Structure 1
Amino acid sequence: MKKRFWIAGAIGFAMAFQVSAQDEKALKYASTITAADLEKHLTYLASDELEGRDTGEKGQKLAAEYLAEFYEGLGLTGPVDGSFFQEFNLSSVSYPQVNLAVGKQKLANNEDFIFIGDADMSKAAKTDLVFLGLANEENLSKVDIKGKLVGLWAIGSRAQTVVPEVMEAGAAGIIIVTMEGQANFDRMANWYKSLSGRGRLGFEQATKQEPIFLVSSDMMSKLFDTPVEILKEAAKNNPESIKSQKVNYQVKKNTKLVPTENVLAFLEGTDKKEEVLVISSHYDHTGIDSQGRVNNGADDDGSGTVAVMEIAEAFALAAKDGHKPRRSVLFLNVTGEEKGLLGSEYYSDNPIFPLENTVNNLNIDMVGRIDYEYQDAEDQEYIYVIGSEMLSSHLKIINEYNNITYTNLKLDYRYDAEDDPNRFYYRSDHYNFAKHNIPVIFFFNGVHDDYHQHTDTVDKIEFPLMTKRTKLIFHTAWDLANREERTPVDGSNTRGER
């Protein structure tokens, strides 16, 4: 799918009359978006001093202050009762003791298994581990799971889709396989180990007694003393043929509140000021890894954050020259994205401006690098565009029009698919606007070897390309903020829960 996508009609007209179609004001203020400014801001935000901007930690707070001071210097407004901070509390949950033993095998947390559920137990539980395999009605009729730990063979499925029905059928807990290969599991286990000391962040909620353990396919084979291929077959046809095992387990839980904040800056519009365009990024990252190395997050999402800053500056300079946008613009840098899109979820559940008046969300998450797909390509001036036509037939056309008129990037839609195995649509903050039927565009450069690694550093950013990508987003935003009619919501949200 490495090809350009052209829209007939309006797009063709724009190509034929490109020079005359350009907005001189938009060009003037787009020129204030420079590689030098992007690099200056990113050099600070992705520095070791900010310790990886982990949610609720010192570095995230320093980043928030830097953003607020920058926006205040532009003359933008803090819309949260005069403040640039939308403050809220998250709950940090840790499990200092997680024990799991099957038969005579004692398993090690974040090595042999990963605890992905929730529980708080005063004493150890003893029961049977039974093999269910697939979580379907036929298998449930063959295996007695009530009060027992249940082995699920859910390769190709997501735990969230199969766990609830098994728990509702009376299981005491679950041991689940969701991926083939020990190497894949080991990578995930190492990631969980790096997070274990800090706890899992989320919104405060009552404890669910749902002990859920993730294991590799090889480990499931060891637990049932049965070859992998036999387990695979039994999962589909005869789960009752797999002998049950004795199991005991215990989980202890700690919780603490973690204050954090979204950063919001507001530019009021003119005749359509009640309508609001939101331009967003997440400014948090993953902090310090288990080996004490700073995950600087230059691309993820330092690049999107400084892009929002430069777009805000362009709009603010235009406003100072008497060219305020017709619609209001909210520049939104959210926290907690790396913990599960938490900051954008909090904003969409507690909006400062009514969601019905929010016309669009342009979300920028990783726009500073070249990914695997393009690293050897002759033409590397691309950007992935996700979600642009799902809710509004106009939004994709508007973005393409502005690309043809001003930047001529290659707009790649390969990840804008309901069956994208990477599920990129569900993995950034636009999701929490789209679920409220607000038309969105997610701008993204794809993944690379440094994704979520301590090697995601400023020296690897492609600043000239990043500048062009940022200018495209500015021109699309300028158009959306100033056109006569807001983009209609004439599509339906065909992509459900995360």
Structure 2
Amino acid sequence: MASKISDTPRPLPTASSRAPAAKAPPPPENKAKAPDLSWNKDRFETGSTQPLPRLPAPQLPQLPAPLPLPLPQLPAPVPPPPCQGPVEPTPETPTEPAPNLADADPMTHIAYLASDELQGRDSPSPGLDAASAYVQAHVEKYGLVGPNVNSPENPFQQRFDVFSFLGNPDANHVHGGDEHKAHKEFGHKLFEEGFYLEEGMPQETLAMLNKKYESAMKAEGQPLTPARNGGMRSVEELRALATESGQAVNTMALLPGSGPHKDEVIVVMAHLDHVGTDRRGNVHNGADDNASGSAVLMAAVPELAEAAKRGELDRSVLFIWTGAEEKGLVGSQYFVDHPIPGLGTEQITGVINVDMVGRWDDQRLSVVDTDRRGQANYFRDVVEQANAQLPDPFDRINRDINMYRDRQDGAVFGRKGEDVLFLFEGLSNPKGGGDLIPEYHEPEDDIDLILRDNGGEKPRRVKDLMVNVIELAANRTTEE
């Protein structure tokens, strides 16, 4: 593992405050539904509103065209003085076009990722594949590279098969013909509703799957099939007991650093998948869960790419949009179990996971910045400094979601000893605690509720905070 911060940390580097990001006009909602506002105890005052029009279905993977730039005004040519030769023209320094403002606005990407066209981005599904292609086109536009040398056909992707022991899990969790109660507790424990299987997988992961099989059969009142050799069931044996539902995908992109620690990596991640459609045909668009976190990562790319061009990132930044998180953190575990050369846990020096950061008001945010023993990691100071650098800092950084530490993708890295920061949109009480959004894992989780709560400012402000956090983490001073 790469060098960690010392017990007596040196002062964090200072960075200039970021001006508020220029924002494209918020996109129209993709469902015109008048929700019940009574549950939101901390909502904004709203006047009379008209139903918003449906979002137009965007064309995959075409991204918004860059904003046109005004042509430079050239000075009128000056004739040479008498008896002199012709005046040589002065070559002009070419300028690169500025990043597209729409690309840097999370609401642009939420509008597409949470559209009906993607049919809820289940793992696996054509909708998740379309979302992956959309992300890849975006990061390639800003010069990020595909780091997965183990997948030369597409180094921006890492594909894996998804299995379950009790049928194909979907939004209703239908197993054996019975419709079980929908998953309503936030997040998933590892391999809770799905997993990957392949020859050569780590023995500790295989042992975990043996236990999952036994607990699943016990919960369903089904008899166990014993291991042939009397010990642990092999991959082949488990495959015979499981049902395969297809391939899911992790999407990744690397922004190389240029400093003395460029071989070290800050991982920034969000799960791209959601729960698909239910058996009644309702699309679960997952605007907050987790189109919002995925979009925040995408919106941060243009600014961080510019910082990298200026040589302002010491460490490298690896972006990962995971698949099959909703099955049980499957994509993140697959990544850890299949290290990419140069991007293993030895090189990782911090992990930032972003999930459900769209709702409630735009002055609060919840974080987990502690290890499994409850001890604060280096991200606590980084978050405080990053927030202070904002022109309008968050009023409340709540630490009220520690019960979710093991129910999010960052937990997979935490078990490997990495320092993890989990950014979350917060619970219903503005000062900490309370309930999840009522629309969690329901068809009503749409972009119109983000617009209703905060006009899209929450995802934009989280993006600004996260850019500050990444820059501070990538440039922090450590003791070797």
State the secondary structure of the residue aligned to 1:329: strand
Query: 1:385 corresponds to which residue?
Result: 367
Query: 1:289 corresponds to which residue?
Result: 278
Identify which range, 36-45 or 287-296, moves more after superposition.
36-45
Gap change, CA 1:342 and 1:110, over 3 Å in 2: closer
1:470 to 460, 463, 471: 463
Query: 1:348 corresponds to which residue?
Result: 336
Gap change, CA 1:336 and 1:73, over 3 Å in 2: same
Please say if 1:434 is aligned against 2:414: yes
Which structure has more strand as a fraction of its residues?
1
2:244 to 256, 259, 262: 256
Structure 1 letter corresponding to 2:194: L
CA distance in 2, matches of 1:469, 1:255: 39
Query: 1:363 corresponds to which residue?
Result: 353
1:38 to 103, 106, 126: 106
CA contact (8 A) 1:387 1:440 kept: yes
Gap change, CA 1:41 and 1:445, over 3 Å in 2: same
CA distance in 2, matches of 1:392, 1:71: 32
Query: 2:393 corresponds to which residue?
Result: 408
Structure 2 letter corresponding to 1:341: L
CA contact (8 A) 1:261 1:343 kept: yes
Query: 2:145 corresponds to which residue?
Result: 77
Which structure has more helix as a fraction of its residues?
1
Per-residue deviation, 1:435? 0.8
Per-residue deviation, 1:359? 0.7
Structure 2 letter corresponding to 1:437: G
CA contact (8 A) 1:32 1:314 kept: no
Unaligned segments of structure 1, at least 5 residues: 1-8, 15-20, 97-108, 116-185, 193-198, 216-251, 375-379, 418-422, 489-498
Per-residue deviation, 1:452? 0.7
1:90 to 149, 159, 162: 162
Query: 2:219 corresponds to which residue?
Result: 213
State the secondary structure of the residue aligned to 2:383: helix
State the secondary structure of the residue aligned to 1:308: helix
CA distance in 2, matches of 1:190, 1:391: 34
CA distance in 2, matches of 1:63, 1:71: 13
Please say if 1:399 is aligned against 2:379: no
CA distance in 2, matches of 1:479, 1:43: 30
Structure 2 letter corresponding to 1:443: L
CA distance in 1, matches of 2:183, 2:352: 30
Per-residue deviation, 1:324? 4.2
Per-residue deviation, 1:87? 1.7
CA contact (8 A) 1:312 1:331 kept: no
1:336 to 324, 343, 347: 324
Report sequence identity in percent.
30
Structure 2 letter corresponding to 1:457: D
Aligned pairs for 1:151-300 (under 5 A) are: 189-190=181-182, 200-204=193-197, 208=213, 211-213=217-219, 255-256=243-244, 258-271=246-259, 272-300=261-289
Per-residue deviation, 1:290? 2.3
Gap change, CA 1:444 and 1:256, over 3 Å in 2: same
CA contact (8 A) 2:378 2:419 kept: no
Task: Give the TM-score taking structure 2 as reference length.
Answer: 0.62
CA distance in 2, matches of 1:57, 1:472: 32
Query: 2:116 corresponds to which residue?
Result: 48
Gap change, CA 1:214 and 1:387, over 3 Å in 2: farther
Structure 1 letter corresponding to 2:219: F
CA distance in 2, matches of 1:430, 1:191: 20
Tell me the alpha carbon deviations over residues 276-295 of structure 1, each in whole angstroms, 9 at most, x when there is no partner.
00110000000001221000
Per-residue deviation, 1:191? 5.4
